[in-house]
Chains A and B, each alone.
Chain A
């Protein structure tokens, strides 16, 4: 899901930087007031965790690979705004140091994996768990949060890939950047994330939440807010 350099046209990647930067600015203000002193070391662990989980490339036999991001569990534990920052830090380091994701695509990649994913996951978790604080329903909600969050991030990525042939082609209609249209990009990304990578993200989210519920229940951000 890390878009490399060259796949997005400037008219896509430039606005994505603006959008991502807006979220970074709000996130910094939010954690100023919302992140408690106790959570500071956990933000570091969240970044470390997201970096590591993304190293576990999962193969589709004979096909492509993918990986979990950790965005859902970080959003549930520390809140979506803390997740925006933790995952963005990881994505920026991956791009600059390891060439994983393009420099020009940092805004887009951060939007997909560090904004879309944690917010979708967080909302899905809050919505599906209702007022439950324990039991099967919470664990199922966590799974669903991870599954849906990663899926929506992949769709957002697929849209950015897929619109390129429409908005950036030469006089003959030959694509200048990512060559595959929406009709290909969306089904491919959707299917691989629905059938495999999303399930892994869901399981990881559920297992880690279970562990935190057993050990540090009062740390969990998604349980700390009064239900609206």
Chain B
């Protein structure tokens, strides 16, 4: 690994450690879900009903680490921040490994 690549990885680690800003900032500014990403319950509050097709599909998949927050919505913001870092690390490791393996496999076939 080159010195430059080491610096980049270090930068990514710093980003991971700072990632709870993505939890704290929306919390302090009272900002909620991204537009169009509401839960079915939230949508019912907003428009008075849950569209029939949406209701069928919305619970199709139960993600193992839903919302980067295995502690659940009720957990304190600090616990959520910690889980956020761990979720981030976990996600980054999988994403990085899959991308690396894909690039390696594709390149190897070429030779």
Contacts and interface: CB of A to CB of B under 8 A. Distances in A.
A78 B25 CA distance: 31
Contact of A102 (B53, B61, B64): B61
Nearest to A105: B57
A64 B12 contact: no
A102 B4 contact: no
Interface in B9-23: 9, 12, 15-16, 18-19, 21-23
Nearest to B8: A45
Given A65-B33, A89-B95, A35 B63 contact: no
A7 B63 CA distance: 17
Given A35-B107, A57-B23, A103-B60, A6 B99 contact: no
Contacts of B65: 97-99
B96 interface: yes
B97 interface: yes
B57 A104 contact: yes
Contacts of B52: 170, 174, 176
Contacts of B92: 48, 51-52
A93 B37 contact: no
Contacts of B103: 31, 35, 39-40, 43-44
Given A6-B40, A32-B106, A44 B67 contact: no
Contacts of A180: 36
B35 A5 contact: no
Contact of B95 (A7, A33, A48, A103): A48
A168 B99 contact: no
22 contacts: A4-B58, A6-B54, A6-B60, A28-B102, A31-B107, A41-B5, A43-B99, A43-B100, A44-B97, A49-B12, A52-B12, A56-B19, A56-B21, A57-B23, A58-B22, A62-B30, A64-B31, A65-B31, A96-B63, A98-B68, A179-B43, A189-B36
Interface of B: 1, 4-5, 8-9, 12, 15-16, 18-19, 21-23, 25-26, 28-37, 40, 43, 47, 49, 51-68, 84, 87-88, 90-92, 94-100, 102-104, 106-107, 109-110
Interface of A: 1-7, 9, 28, 31-33, 35, 37, 39-53, 55-67, 85-86, 89-90, 93-100, 102-104, 157, 161, 168, 170, 174-180, 185, 188-189, 192, 215-216
Query: Nearest 9 A-B pairs (CB), nearest first?
Result: A99-B63, A59-B31, A176-B53, A6-B54, A47-B99, A6-B58, A44-B100, A6-B57, A59-B29
